């Protein structure tokens, strides 16, 4: 039996990644899930957070937000609204986005604005987290 699977990450703008990997961990809408070779067919909505994958025992990270993950025949396809490799994330830009979202949360009174500000804050924190994981694993 194969010990590898293909991982493809695609956004509406571009193909972010196409690699042969040993493992994929992703943020599902209902919690994180992991995929190894020969996994049963699977479909899940994606949440906001860090997706990571292993190649030759080394972890690589990326930020994903929204979309779907499909697993079938040793292939994981991530169709994300947003996906950025950890190496592509500008730390200063992510930090400024986090600060803007926190300020909006302090100022907002309406539920719709509050919900949007919360989502923006979650995305900014997850983006920074993906970058920091990448740095810690030595892939940045």
Structural domain boundaries of the chain? Answer: 5-87, 89-136
- Say if residues 23 and 34 touch (Cβ distance below 8 Å): yes
As a whole number of angstroms, the distance between CA 87 and CA 6 comes to 21
CATH superfamily of 89-136: ATP synthase delta/epsilon subunit, C-terminal domain (1.20.5.440)
What DSSP string describes 50-95?
EEEEEETTEEEEEEEEEEEEEEETTEEEEEEEEEEEGGG--HHHHH
Q: For residue 73, what pLDDT band results from cuts at 50, 70 and 90?
A: very high
- Say if residues 63 and 86 touch (Cβ distance below 8 Å): yes
- Say if residues 82 and 94 touch (Cβ distance below 8 Å): no
Q: Which whole number is the average pLDDT over 105-125? A: 75
Q: Which whole number is the average pLDDT over 83-99? A: 86
Instruction: State pTM to two decimals.
Output: 0.78
- What is the DSSP pairing of strand 31-36 with strand 42-45? unpaired
Residue with tokens 């972890």: 59
Which of 63, 78, 33, 80 shows the shortest CA–CA distance to 129? 63
Please give the CATH topology (third level) of the domain spanning 5-87. Answer: ATP Synthase; domain 1 (2.60.15)
Decide which of 89 and 37 is more confident: 37
Beta bridge partners of 54: 23, 59
Decide which of 51 and 127 is more confident: 51
Q: For residue 112, what pLDDT band results from cuts at 50, 70 and 90?
A: low
Q: Which residues contact 38 (CB under 8 A, 6 or more apart)?
A: 1, 2, 74
């Amino acid at each position: 039996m194969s010990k590898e699977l293909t991982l493809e990450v695609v956004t509406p703008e571009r193909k972010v990644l196409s690699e042969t990997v040993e493992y994929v961990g992703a943020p599902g809408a209902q919690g994180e899930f992991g995929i190894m070779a020969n996994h049963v067919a699977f479909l899940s909505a994606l949440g906001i957070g860090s997706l990571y994958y292993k190649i030759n025992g080394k972890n690589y990270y990326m930020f994903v937000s929204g979309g779907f993950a499909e697993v079938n025949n040793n292939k994981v396809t991530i169709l994300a609204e947003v996906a950025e490799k950890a190496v592509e994330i500008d730390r200063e830009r992510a930090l400024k986005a986090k600060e803007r979202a926190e300020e909006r949360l302090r100022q907002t009174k309406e539920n719709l604005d509050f919900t949007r500000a919360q989502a923006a804050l979650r995305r900014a924190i997850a983006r920074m987290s993906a970058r920091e994981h990448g740095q810690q694993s030595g892939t940045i």
